[in-house]
Amino acid sequence: MSEKVLIKGNEAIAEAAVRAGVKGYFGYPITPQNEVTAYMSKRMPELGRAFVQAESEIAAINMVYGAASTGELAMTTSSSPGIALMQEGISYMCGAEVPAVIVNISRGGPGLGNIGPSQSDYNQSTRGGGNGDYFLIVYAPSNLQEAVDITYKAFEMSQKYRNPVLILGDGAIGQMAETVILPEFKEYSSKDHWWELNGCKGRDSRSVKSLRLAEGTLKTHCLHLKEKFEMVKKNEVEYELTGNDYDILVVAFGTSARVAKSSIKEAKKNGIRVELFRPILIWPYPYIQLAEAAKKAKKILVVEMNNGQMLFDVIYAVKDESRVEFLGKPGGEVVDPDEIYEKIISIRG
Residues at the site binding another protein, with contacts judged by CB under 8 A: 23-24, 26, 49-50, 52, 54-56, 58-60, 62-70, 72, 74, 88-89, 92, 96, 197-202, 205-211
Rg over CA atoms, the chain: 20
Tell me the closest approach of the beta carbon of residue 268 to another protein, in angstroms.
50
Give the nearer residue to another protein in terms of CB position, either 1 or 200: 200
Measured CA angle at 223 (ends 219, 229), to 5 deg: 145
Comparison of 1 and 214: residue with beta carbon closer to another protein = 214
Name the packing angle between helices 144-161 and 217-235 (round to 10°).
Answer: 140
CB 252 within 8 A of CB 276: yes
Closest CB 109 distance from another protein, rounded Å: 23
Judge whether 226 and 303 are in contact, CB under 8 Å: no
Query: Do the beta carbons of residue 10 and residue 36 sit within 8 Å?
Result: yes
Coil, strand, or helix at residue 141? coil
Query: Which of 262, 265, 278 lies closest to 337, judged by CA?
Result: 262
- Considering the complex, state which of residue 8 and residue 49 has its C-beta at the smaller distance from another protein: 49
25 burial type by CB count under 10 A (0-12 exposed, 13-18 middle, 19+ buried): buried
Structural contact between residues 306 and 330, judged by C-beta atoms closer than 8 angstroms: yes
Phi and psi at 10, nearest 5°, equal -60, -40
Task: Tell me the closest approach of the beta carbon of residue 48 to another protein, in angstroms.
Answer: 11
**Is the Cβ of residue 92 or residue 152 nearer to another protein in the bound state?**
92
Minimum CB separation of residue 186 from another protein in Å reads 17
Smallest separation (angstroms) from another protein to the CB of 225? 17
Identify the helix (H) or strand (E) that includes residue 205: none
Nearer to another protein, 38 or 96 (CB): 96
Report the residue number, 9 or 89, with the smaller CB distance to another protein: 89
The nearest distance, CB 7 to another protein, in angstroms, is 26
Query: d(Cα 220, Cα 203) in Å, to the nearest integer?
Result: 25
Q: How far apart are CA 92 and CA 98, in angstroms?
A: 9
Q: Are 85 and 129 in contact (CB under 8 A)?
A: no
Cβ 315 to another protein shortest distance, Å: 36
Residue 183 Cβ vs another protein, minimum distance, rounded to whole Å: 22
Based on CB atoms, which residue is closest to another protein, 54 or 334?
54
Is 282:139 a contact under the CB 8 Å cutoff? yes
Q: Which is nearer to another protein, 63 or 249 (CB)?
A: 63
Nearer to another protein, 199 or 243 (CB): 199
**118 within 8 A of 158, measured Cβ to Cβ:** no
Query: Smallest distance from the beta carbon of 49 to another protein, in angstroms?
Result: 8
Helix (H, G, I), strand (E, B) or coil at 110: coil
